[in-house]
Amino acid sequence: MHNAVFSSMGINGVYVPMQVREVEQAITGLKALGFRGASVTVPHKETVMAYLDYVDPIADQIGAVNTLVCEKGQDGITTLVKGLNTDWLGALRALEQVMSPKGSHIVIMGAGGSAKAVGYGLKKAGAQITIANRTEKKGQQLAQWLDADFILPETVADIKHADVLINTTSVGMEPDYNSIVINPELLPKFKTVMDIVYAPLETRLLREATRAGCKTIDGLSMLLYQGAAQFEAWTGKTPPLEVMRAALMQALSTAKK
């Protein structure tokens, strides 16, 4: 999606994958080679923070960085690397296309790094949050950090009212197509169901939610909006979302063949 926008906007840039084993050396390499920035994915989102010159306060609160921006220091010579987190923005913007999170009750399935970023954005938007996680200790820790409620997944049935269900786990991801994070019979409790998994694009959770009459948001939406925020951080320009979305759809279509 980034290369598609570089091309459409006439920007002389390229976005390429690089496997990194030594994070500190990778940051040195970014500075030495004149990079404008980079994405950071698992397992380096937390580790990389120790080697950055500056971490955005929101990323620092979330405890994870997914975007690096290389900038010149005050001397105009030294390159500094700043860490941001756009995952929370991606999830929030994806949900806002369907509804206003403010004042709504949202159940987040999972308590990992993605759940933390998603939860931060929703809390910032004024939502009431409940964390549902199999590991009680980890779930309780995230719930406490978000000032949210905690439940075990099997007790979702006891919730009297909820507006949105968001799956932040990898349940349902290829090749485990038939897995689902919640009993499908409980889906009518929710008006909207969102899944951050984007391969496959329509997970079993989303198929069952559609049958239950829920509005659905696929994982491509979060990926799109967090990527748009990255692009803005690197270039200072607003990317055409339709170009990014088309590139993502093309990539998913190609991957299936």
User: DSSP states of 9-30 as a string?
Assistant: TT----------S-HHHHHHHH
Inform me whether the pLDDT recorded for 230 exceeds 90.
yes
Does pTM top 0.75 for this prediction? yes
User: Helix, strand, coil: what percent of the chain each, to 5?
Assistant: 45, 15, 40
Residues 162, 245: one domain? no
Question: Looking at the 3D structure of the chain, how many domains does it have?
Answer: 2
The answer to whether 38 and 66 have CB atoms below 8 angstroms apart is no
Identify the band that residue 257 occupies on the pLDDT scale cut at 50, 70 and 90: low
Q: List, for residues 119-135, the tens digit of each pLDDT value.
A: 999 999 999 999 999 99
Answer for the pair 201, 192: CB distance below 8 angstroms, yes or no. Answer: no
- The CATH number given to whatever domain includes residue 133 is 3.40.50.720
Question: Are both 123 and 65 inside the same structural domain?
Answer: no
Same domain, 150 and 131: yes
pLDDT confidence of residue 168 = 96
Beta strands in the chain, from DSSP E residues, in sequence order: 37-39, 54-55, 67-72, 79-84, 105-109, 128-132, 149-151, 164-167, 192-195, 215-217
Average of per-residue pLDDT values in the chain: 95
CATH number assigned to the domain comprising residue 235:
3.40.50.10860
The catalytic position among 31, 45, 189, 191 is 45
Q: Are residues 116 and 207 in the same domain?
A: yes
Q: Examine the domain organization and report whether 97 and 209 are in the same domain.
A: yes
- φ/ψ of residue 40, rounded to 5: -125, 130
Give ∠ CA 245-89-31 in degrees, rounded to 5: 85
Q: Tokens standing for 77?
A: 């010579």
Active site residue 160: no
Residues 155-165 pLDDT 10s: 999 999 999 99
Determine the structural domain holding residue 163 and report its residue range: 88-217
Residue 122: which residues within 8 A CB-CB, separation 6 or more? 91, 92, 95, 101, 106, 108, 129
- Per-residue pLDDT for 113 more than 90? no
- Give the model's pLDDT for residue 253: 83
Decide: 201 and 219 in contact? Cβ < 8 Å. Answer: yes
For residues 13 and 27, state if they share a domain: yes
In terms of domains, do 105 and 205 share one? yes
Residues 76 and 109 in one domain: no
**Residue-level pLDDT at 252:** 85
Q: Are residues 208 and 177 in the same domain?
A: yes
Whether 94 and 208 share a structural domain: yes
State the pLDDT at residue 17. 96
**Burial (CB count within 10 angstroms: exposed 0-12, middle 13-18, buried 19+), residue 255:** exposed
User: Is the predicted pLDDT of residue 22 greater than 80, yes or no?
Assistant: yes
Both 213 and 145 in one domain: the answer is yes
The answer on 93 and 74 residing in a single domain is no
